[in-house]
Amino acid sequence: MMTKQQPRTRRAQALREALENDIVTGFYPAGSRLDEVTLAKRFEVSRTPIREALIELSVAGLVDIKPRRGTFVRDVGIARLVEMFEVMADLEAMCGRLAARRITSDEVKALKAAHEACCNAQQGGDPDAYYHANQIFHDTIYKASHNGFLAEQAKHLQTQLKVYRRLQLRVPNRVSMSLTEHGNIVEAITSGDAVAAAEHLRQHVLIQGERFNDFVASVSAHWQEGDAKRN
């Protein structure tokens, strides 16, 4: 990870990460109320750092603070998810476009290595391993864009979409299709074809056509699992 490790002597910072994780993994499902005193008891701190963590999450867009009424895990509907993926596709395309022009020889090596790691993970048949290798592949491209701010933004959005990107891998054949696309992306970037790199990456991330239906289906299934667990 490339985040500059600030000397962390703030509880709120750690709490924010913990809560972010709990939200992303579905421990606190969309719409849950995050009660300050309950959280304070759970983490064995006072309400103050809890409040500060919740405010951070609110600015980051993960929760809604309704003044005097409580804070709730933000409910991203299908519509908003699609919007977020639309933006993600554009950010990744931009990364690819810049990377095609700016990538260094060391980064080319890293990119090819990341691609091979994805191939190996698929051979192994472990979805989690592929998920992880895939993330490294994309991170490598962010970095190769040589725009640190862009890389931060892409990584940020990637975090929010993590859980849903993972869902996509459940769709049959998605992994092998994904690998083919990765190959095209590597080819375009290493050959310096900015336009092709951008377009391949956009199509890779964008959810449209048939894949939109696959996506809605898998997300709906995921949400129903959540509902079932709650009852």
Partner DNA sequence: GTCAATGTTTTTGTATACAAGAGGGTTATC
Partner DNA sequence: GATAACCCTCTTGTATACAAAAACATTGAC
Chain residues in the site for DNA (CB under 7 A): 7, 9-12, 33-37, 45-49, 51-52, 65, 67-71
Closer residue to its own copies, CB minimum distance, 87 or 119: 87
How many CA atoms does the CB half-sphere of 208 hold within 13 Å? 8
Task: Choose the contact partner of 90 out of DNA, its own copies, none; CB within 5 to 8 A by kind.
Answer: its own copies
Query: Can you say how many angstroms the Cα of residue 213 is from the centroid of all Cα atoms in its chain?
Result: 20
User: Least Å distance between CB 43 and DNA?
Assistant: 9
Distance between CA atoms of 218 and 146, rounded to whole angstroms? 35
Closer residue to DNA, CB minimum distance, 105 or 231: 231
Binding site for its own copies (CB under 8 A): 6-10, 12-13, 51-52, 55-56, 58-61, 65-68, 80, 83-84, 86-87, 90-91, 94, 98, 147-150, 152-153
Distance between CA atoms of 94 and 99, rounded to whole angstroms? 8
Closer residue to DNA, CB minimum distance, 52 or 187: 52
Closer residue to DNA, CB minimum distance, 36 or 181: 36
Amino acid in the structure at residue 75: D
Distance between CA atoms of 73 and 91, rounded to whole angstroms? 25
Task: Choose the contact partner of 86 out of DNA, its own copies, none; CB within 5 to 8 A by kind.
Answer: its own copies
Task: Choose the contact partner of 35 out of DNA, its own copies, none; CB within 5 to 8 A by kind.
Answer: DNA
Residues 6+ apart with CB under 8 A from 36: 47, 50, 51, 54, 71
Task: Choose the contact partner of 94 out of DNA, its own copies, none; CB within 5 to 8 A by kind.
Answer: its own copies
Decide: residue 68, CB within 10 A, 0-12 exposed, 13-18 middle, 19+ buried. exposed
Closer residue to DNA, CB minimum distance, 37 or 177: 37
User: Least Å distance between CB 57 and DNA?
Assistant: 13
Task: Choose the contact partner of 22 out of its own copies, DNA, none; CB within 5 to 8 A by kind.
Answer: none
Distance between CA atoms of 7 and 14, rounded to whole angstroms? 12
Distance between CA atoms of 66 and 68, rounded to whole angstroms? 6
Contact between 61 and 160 (Cβ < 8 Å): yes
